[in-house]
Amino acid sequence: MPELSSSDNYPTWMGMVFVFNLIIGTGALTLPSAFSHAGWLGGLAMVILVGFISYVTVTFVIEAMASANAILHHRALMKRATAREAHFSDDSDTTENAPLVAEENVMFSLSSRVEMGEMATIYFNGPGIIAFYLCIAIYLYGDLSIYAAAIGTSLKDVICESNVNATMDTPCWSNHEITRFGCYRLCVVATGLFLGPFVFFNVQKTKYIQMLTVVFRVCAFTAMILMALIRLMRNGAEGHPSTISPSGIPRAFGACIYSFMCHHSLPSLLAPVREKKHLSWQLPLDFILIATFYVLLGITGVFAFENIEDLYTLNFLDTPSEGFMRIIGYFLALFPVFTLSASLPVVAITLRNNLAAIFARGQQPSFLRRAILPLLALLPAFGVTLLTDSVSSLVGFTGAFAGAGVQYLTPVILVYCARRYVSLTLPDAPVNPHRSPFHHSAWLIIVIAWCTLGVTFVTVNFFSHIFQQHY
């Protein structure tokens, strides 16, 4: 439970910038495609519903983190009391009655960074801990595959000749044998060779890089919304999406879950915040702002373009334009390359550390940790990426299955176990000031029911597609 020095702290608004930066990423670039499959109303409904449920589970993670701080604080006090008893047996009565619950602001705080993995070790037993790390690892594998596919696809579309009717079997350039899919694979391999070595070391992002990245992302998403609006005003609605298409809802479900994912990194982002009392109104405001961006991006996209690429940024590269607008088109097309190249090594290192928690827990640095685990983190993810360039399919699958586990099941189980643990070990403790506003037990059931319903639809849809392809 690392304590943070005052120099590491930052104001609440900066913490919200970090949350905004973490959430808005590759998943958002697949939302217009998800809207086109689910219908504009279906996509709108999924963004609002998934965004709301995601915020509910964010409050669960915050409550569980505050409870973990209290439990660890209580353990520290008990350990000191036991040590004093060993030396001063005469004072056993007073030390045993040390003020374990009087310091509620210290106990139920978010000042110490308790990561989700550490919370799992507090609240879960052995199999539960392994299941947690496996869920995180599967999600991170999907994350890496999505990042590599997004970078490879963006580079391929910039390198190859522009052709609206091109398929992956179309030659990348006229009079050349290499296909667009071959170029994509070369770009993926180059990405792995260039960024892969960083996984063998430690990489830390600074708040200045975070600030620069969030400005870059806001500019890119604002530019996409404005350019789609300009296209609508000039040409009218070229896209004619259905109002709602049930067959596309499962895909939109997975894309929306992935697009609101931040739960696994919340402790690192919120622990340094100075005025944590402001989180109760600034965090929902952050989610409303993000959902507004998503709705504007999806609605303008499905009506402005007749056909939407898996990565929405590529639609602007294919748009006929000249001069400054052409430069903006290339800027947007390369947007995933710029942003994800900085994030990919960090995700891979996080995956490597989670694999170490599963396979090399408690071991000293060894050949397994230094060489095998980094390769075990990279090779399967890039192997999947070499087989498919469908970013939207990877996003939908990762979000619907592993993402649902990280975003829905894990927070519900954590907060349920945290409440039970506190009630048993700290029966006289005050009310947790960071308790979720959705603290009624019915909300736990609602989230589980929503998760079960969504994953069931995605699973049925997945196997029905396989059945249709083979029969």
Q: Average per-residue pLDDT in the chain?
A: 81
Looking at residue 294, its pLDDT comes to 94
Q: How confident is the model at residue 87 (pLDDT cuts 50, 70, 90)?
A: low
Q: How many CB atoms lie under 10 A from the CB of residue 97?
A: 9
Looking at residue 285, its pLDDT comes to 93
pLDDT digits (tens, 9 = 90+) for 35-62: 999 999 999 999 999 999 999 999 999 9
Among residues 62, 12, 13, 21, the alpha carbon closest in space to that of 293 is found at 21
- Whole-Å CA distances, 419 to 100, 411, 428: 17, 12, 13
Looking at residue 102, its pLDDT comes to 45
Q: How many CB atoms lie under 10 A from the CB of residue 210?
A: 18
Looking at residue 97, its pLDDT comes to 47
pLDDT digits (tens, 9 = 90+) for 119-132: 888 888 888 888 88
Looking at residue 104, its pLDDT comes to 47
Look at residue 438 and tell me whether its pLDDT is greater than 60. Answer: yes
Look at residue 201 and tell me whether its pLDDT is greater than 80. Answer: no
- The H-or-E segment that residue 278 falls in is none
Question: Average of pLDDT values for 108-121?
Answer: 81
Highest mean pLDDT among 38-52, 78-92, 143-157, 212-226: 38-52
CA 1 to chain centre: 23
Highest mean pLDDT among 239-243, 322-326, 331-335, 426-430: 239-243
Looking at residue 368, its pLDDT comes to 64
Question: Average of pLDDT values for 3-25?
Answer: 71
Q: How confident is the model at residue 206 (pLDDT cuts 50, 70, 90)?
A: very low
Give the range among 218-222, 302-306, 381-385 with minimum mean pLDDT: 218-222
Question: Average of pLDDT values for 8-30?
Answer: 79
Cα separation, 335 vs 90, whole angstroms: 68
Question: Average of pLDDT values for 256-282?
Answer: 83
Give ∠ CA 247-253-259 in degrees, rounded to 5.
140
Q: How confident is the model at residue 101 (pLDDT cuts 50, 70, 90)?
A: very low
Look at residue 23 and tell me whether its pLDDT is greater than 90. Answer: no
pLDDT digits (tens, 9 = 90+) for 339-387: 777 778 878 887 887 787 777 665 555 666 677 888 888 899 999 899 8
Cα separation, 73 vs 241, whole angstroms: 55
Phi, psi (5° rounding) for residue 249?
A: -60, -45
Cα separation, 40 vs 143, whole angstroms: 26
Question: Average of pLDDT values for 182-202?
Answer: 86
Residues present in the chain in total: 471
Q: CB under 8 Å to 17, separation ≥6 — which residues?
A: 210, 211, 214
Burial 58-76 (b: 16+ CB within 10 A, else e): bbbbbbbbbbbbbbbbbee
Looking at residue 100, its pLDDT comes to 44
Cα separation, 275 vs 283, whole angstroms: 12
Q: How confident is the model at residue 417 (pLDDT cuts 50, 70, 90)?
A: very high
CB 156 within 8 A of CB 180: yes
Q: How confident is the model at residue 94 (pLDDT cuts 50, 70, 90)?
A: very low
Look at residue 248 and tell me whether its pLDDT is greater than 80. Answer: yes
Q: Please tell me the pTM assigned to this model.
A: 0.82
pLDDT digits (tens, 9 = 90+) for 133-161: 888 888 888 888 888 998 998 888 888 88
Looking at residue 35, its pLDDT comes to 93
Q: How many CB atoms lie under 10 A from the CB of residue 369?
A: 17
Looking at residue 50, its pLDDT comes to 94
CB 23 within 8 A of CB 55: no
Task: Give 443 or 71, the one with higher predicted confidence.
Answer: 443
- Answer positive or negative: Cα dihedral of 160, 161, 166, 172: negative
